[in-house]
Amino acid sequence: MTPVYLFTGFLDSGKTTLIMDTLNDKQFMEGIDRTLIICLEQGETEYTEKFLDEHNTFIEFMDSSLELTPEKMRELDTIYHPSQVFIEYNGSEIVSETLLSGMPDFWPLVEILTTVDATTFASYITNMRSMMFEQLRWSDVVICNRCTEDTSASLLRGNIKAINKRAQIFYEGKFGEPAELKGGLLPFDKNAEIIDITDDDYGLWYMDAIDNPDSYEGKKIRLRGRYAEDIPGYTKSFVLGRRAMVCCEQDTSLCGITVTGVKTWEMQKNMWVEVEGTLKTVPVSEGGKTLVVYASAIRKYQGPKDEYVYFS
């Protein structure tokens, strides 16, 4: 079997550079004899003949993903006999069902990587959210490049995680080196006697809580959100949460946390509440952890003017 890696992202977001960096990675390339690049989009950075020859890499250009059928893959496999295949996708195309679930057994899709230009992300996520949604929704790895000290990691992480919670995110500077971002600092004090999460900060807190549950163990918190879901079999527990816009107003994702120790029979579904309590970590499947609020007080809350969660 020949592993296939799919690279997505807007034009000039860094896909070609990432592929070239991967080909230069001796550890990744160990045991690889021949690489085939299927290129569906050409940006400013180009593959030179010298580079391709030095890395024993071959390239096929296509105008559309519709050309990349299982029959075409069999033909290319017969011609090149590659040890691995890189598909440089067109950022304006939706990832096809053929790539997601119809790959032939001899070319399994093993990883989807998406490049993001941090300098244009805020504009794109605001004005072309549906296109970014299609690029990010299936990604295993997201590389945010061209970061500076002023880049907001919370803006990047929050919006990406709202679309795809399982994606790994990496932040890089101009030359591919890991970036340290001032903008990633949280707007609330995690060491306060009571961590008071305002309506505007709920999204940032939620993503940090998912990424770093141990840092909240035993801490007191004040949260506001909707009575979002019941928990079957538990009359004193419910899911408190708010919804983040994933693609459009008709497509949202719940950012929720379990609250326990309350009289749910005295509450109504979708009512807004303010909860105070203590955070504790509990184990979940696959060896992970999640947080639960052990409530000490709960009261009705009017709710914010804008009910959606944002990450900036």
Same domain, 23 and 133: yes
Interacting residues of 255 by C-beta distance below 8 A, sequence separation 6+ = 162, 202, 203, 206, 241, 242, 243, 244, 309
pLDDT along the chain (312 residues), means of 10: 95 93 94 96 89 96 93 96 96 90 94 95 91 93 92 86 88 82 74 94 91 95 97 95 81 92 95 98 88 97 89 71
Q: Residue 245 sits in which domain range?
A: 195-309
Same domain, 144 and 251: no
**Residue 177 falls inside a structural domain:** yes
Domain count, the chain: 2
**Residue 188 falls inside a structural domain:** no
Task: Report the 10 Å Cβ neighbour count for 179.
Answer: 20
Q: Supply the CATH number for residue 148's domain.
A: 3.40.50.300
Q: Which two tokens stand for residue 261?
A: 């120790």
Confidence at residue 149, expressed as pLDDT on a 0 to 100 scale: 83
Confidence at residue 182, expressed as pLDDT on a 0 to 100 scale: 64
Confidence at residue 279, expressed as pLDDT on a 0 to 100 scale: 98
Q: Which residues of 134-144 are buried (b: 16+ CB within 10 A; e: fewer)?
A: bbbbbbebbbb
Q: How far apart are CA 10 and CA 222, in angstroms?
A: 40
Same domain, 204 and 303: yes
Confidence at residue 195, expressed as pLDDT on a 0 to 100 scale: 97
Confidence at residue 165, expressed as pLDDT on a 0 to 100 scale: 81
Residue for token pair 């709202």: 162
Confidence at residue 183, expressed as pLDDT on a 0 to 100 scale: 56
Q: Supply the CATH number for residue 215's domain.
A: 2.40.50.140
| 168 HSE (CA, 13 A, CB side) | 6
